[in-house]
Amino acid sequence: MKVFKFGGASIKNAQAIRNMCEIVSNHKEAKLLVVVSAMGKSTNNLELLLEERTNETASDKNLANLLEFHVSICEDLFPTDHDIFNYLKNQISELKVALQSPADYNEIYDQVVSKGELISSNIITAYLNHCGTSSLWVDAREYVRTDNNFREGHVDWKLTEELIRHDIESLALSNVLVTQGFIGRAQNGLTTTLGREGSDFSAAIFASCLSAESVTVWKDVPGILNGDPKLVKDAILFDELPYQEAAEMTYYGATVIHPKTIKPLANKGIPLHVKSFDHPSEPGTLIHDCKLKENQPPTIIIKNDQCLISFKVIDFTFVNEDNLSLIFKTLSDNNIKINIMQNSAISFSIVIDNDTSKIQKLVLSLKDHFDIRYNNGLQLITLKNYQQETLDSYRNNEKILLEQISRKNYRALINP
């Protein structure tokens, strides 16, 4: 059994969907499970609908735009009397009802944003069948089970594996299976999401539970590069990487693979291919059980829109274990990930992604215990396996606010 994952860029329009379906058709002789994201920027548009709902502004126009986006793609793929057009109208009607729900915001978020993957997977299944590739739509929520933590559901691995092992392989004997990334089902029966950009993780969940032969993530880049080609000049393609190296790269902020993806695959020894959907015959990058090559080029990871928060004790005592325990508990309660941290005798500083609502909750929870200062709009640079020449080029910057260096890694927070 093989697992393919296609992101939003690979199915952003009719021509991209044709290309994606040709890749799938070329591998249809293998037992194949295809995991797809929402099309193009659909997730962003669905989040905009939620924002409009919160601000009580009219959302009918953007609902119509969302319908038109998918209809126009389908008009290029299907005959005008195809059932997919009624399906799309029904999905938009359901979205309008969901947006009017009085439930908690995070709960509504998952019911609304998940529509992107449900719509895209139905369109792709229909088009594969239309082109003669026998395909079956599979509802990921019937298999991927989570707790009731909306927007970042925690997978119930035992139940999920039981459900996936029950019938997925048998269903794949005569059909290409198409399912959704990013979504699951909570204990209360509602839809949950697995965290932003979580479709890679979904592919890893299915692959791990199936002990799959491999996972291939199809991207708009040739594989994993040592830096974002938009930000790093002459970025170099890695032909292979060890699981641990790839996992560390995602931890530091590399965005080609979702951070949760590597662990379940490494635990089962399942290789992960990262390949270009524009050039599917090229080898891409293979992540598997291997050793890091000598003279590996340094990896340059740049994270923008970072926030530096400093907690200073207010009674002239030192930053001790009790203070740190309180800060870490509050971070955990608000689902805030630390990108880098540093402390002195009387203060503790962290760098996190700039999420205004989370920062406000954090400050409100801890303002009685610490003098809290923060500034945002910062840039966090990580040099992994740095070479002296590369290190010197990045350290020669007068705008460094914070830096850390070890034998292999260098990190700096810069006010750009």
Each as own residue / partner, the long-range contacts of residues 280-285 (CB below 8 Å, 24 or more positions apart, any chain) are: 280/23, 280/26, 280/218, 282/222, 282/223, 283/223, 283/239, 284/222, 284/223, 285/223, 285/224, 285/237, 285/238, 285/239, 285/240, 285/241
7 is in an annotated binding site: yes
Give the model's pLDDT for residue 416.
Answer: 86
∠ CA 85-87-93, nearest 5°, is: 110
10 closest CA partner among 29, 28, 31, 24:
24
pTM of the full structure: 0.92
Options 3.40.1160.10, 3.40.50.2300, 1.10.10.10, 3.30.450.70; CATH for 2-220 is 3.40.1160.10
Question: Rounded to whole angstroms, how far apart are CA atoms 362 and 356?
Answer: 10
269 is in an annotated binding site: no
Options 3.40.50.11540, 3.30.2130.10, 3.40.109.10, 3.40.50.720; CATH for 299-414 is 3.30.2130.10
Q: Quick one: tokens of 350?
A: 């962290």
277 is in an annotated binding site: no
* DSSP one-letter string for 251-317: HHT--SS-TTSHHHHHHHT--EEEEESSSTTS--EEEES-PPPTTPPPEEEEEEEEEEEEEEESSS-
Q: Quick: pLDDT tens for 86-123.
A: 999 999 999 999 998 889 999 999 999 999 999 999 99
43 is in an annotated binding site: yes
In the chain, where the domains are located:
2-220, 299-414
Examine domains 2-220 and 299-414 and report if their fold is the same. Answer: no
359 closest CA partner among 370, 371, 340, 373:
373
Rg (CA), the chain: 23
Averaged in consecutive runs of 10 residues, what is the pLDDT profile of the chain (416 residues)?
A: 96 97 93 97 92 72 93 98 97 93 92 97 98 97 97 96 97 97 96 91 98 96 93 92 95 89 96 97 97 91 96 88 95 93 94 94 95 95 93 89 94 94
